[in-house]
Structure 1
Amino acid sequence: MMPVTELRGAIPIGIAMNLDPLGVYAASVIGSSLISIPLILTFRHILSFIRGISFLKNISKKIDNKIEASMKKLKSASVLGIILFVGIPLPTTGSWTASAIASILHMRIRDAFIGIVLGNMMAGVIVTGISMHII
């Protein structure tokens, strides 16, 4: 659940500690995915607070209008984008950043959660394979 490493750091550490790789994978995916729902809700409250600040109101309105216009075209691709964003195990492409992106893009919590879970599963398989010297 830690914002920087998430499962990308937990899986190699768990495997290095001779823990069961399947157990490490499952705990890492579950832990990294469950944090996304509170994060999405928190980021939404932060964004609404920022929209209420007078000198940021015009900027946030322009950004919201631009996002609103492009989201009509990309509604179905946004879940796939979250899956790929989280699923490629690079630094800063985990649940925390994906939750912020989902909040900014006004995604439904269910869609964002599904994308984050599938992405975490994909990243977990890749990181586990690399940690076990399979990939």
Structure 2
Amino acid sequence: MEYLRILILSMIPVTELRGAIPIGIAMDLNPIGVYIASVLGSTLVSVPLVLTYRHIVQFMRDKKILTKLLNKIDQKIENSMKKMKAASFLGIILFVGIPLPTTGTWTASAIASILRMRIVEAFAGVFIGNCIAGIIVLLISYHII
């Protein structure tokens, strides 16, 4: 039951994985279980987020909200689509993998939807990034690094 709480905490944008792991460690839970629950929770939320963000961007286009900004972003993406597609997967991994404030699943999902990444690539990038960030946060929580 405690691991379910950690999983849910890792889905919330305020705590995400970076907050759920130290909370689980403070609760004296098994670090491997905390790591797995945090990575799963933080990653599972990425798919609905990417889909939701896509609908929000499409709604903004339909209602002509921030049209100039969206058109500039689209133009930049179209101009460098091949380079950006290759770099976007690695970029999402690095963005999520470095545990800094605002570099988690929620922001990465928004970036992936703006870049029009495929769901599988966005999910895989967020998962790998969460695995890396989870290890770093776990090591920091135990004062190893």
The aligned runs of 1:73-84 (5 Å cut-off) are 73-84=83-94
Q: Which of the residues 33, 36, 56 maps onto 2:43?
A: 33
Between the aligned partners of 1:62 and 1:73, the Cα distance in structure 2 is: 17
Cα deviation, residue 58, structure 1: 4.1
With over 3 angstroms needed to count, the CA separation of the structure-2 counterparts of 1:112 and 1:55, relative to structure 1, is closer
Cα deviation, residue 51, structure 1: 0.5
State, as a whole percentage, how many aligned pairs show the same letter. 69
Partner of 1:132: 142
* 1:43 maps to amino acid: Y
- Could you tell me the TM-score, scaled by structure 2's length? 0.89
Between the aligned partners of 2:51 and 2:137, the Cα distance in structure 1 is: 28
Between the aligned partners of 2:59 and 2:120, the Cα distance in structure 1 is: 23
The count of residues paired between Structure 1 and Structure 2 equals 135
Q: Which of the residues 66, 70, 83 maps onto 1:60?
A: 70
Q: Which of the residues 113, 117, 128 maps onto 1:103?
A: 113
- Could you tell me the TM-score, scaled by structure 1's length? 0.95
Between the aligned partners of 1:63 and 1:17, the Cα distance in structure 2 is: 44
Kept in 2: contact 1:4–1:92 (CA 8 A) = no
Q: Which of the residues 79, 82, 99 maps onto 1:89?
A: 99
Structure 1: which 5+ runs fail to align?
none
SS at match of 2:28: coil
Cα deviation, residue 38, structure 1: 0.1
* 1:112 maps to amino acid: A
* 2:138 maps to amino acid: T
* 2:116 maps to amino acid: H
Between the aligned partners of 1:54 and 1:126, the Cα distance in structure 2 is: 42
With over 3 angstroms needed to count, the CA separation of the structure-2 counterparts of 1:88 and 1:110, relative to structure 1, is same
Structure 2: which 5+ runs fail to align?
1-10
Cα deviation, residue 2, structure 1: 0.8
Cα deviation, residue 133, structure 1: 1.5
* 2:17 maps to amino acid: L
Q: Which of the residues 54, 58, 63 maps onto 1:48?
A: 58
Between the aligned partners of 2:66 and 2:14, the Cα distance in structure 1 is: 28
Kept in 2: contact 1:11–1:28 (CA 8 A) = yes
Q: CA RMSD in A?
A: 1.2
Kept in 2: contact 1:67–1:105 (CA 8 A) = yes
The alignment status of 1:113 with 2:140, answered yes or no, reads: no
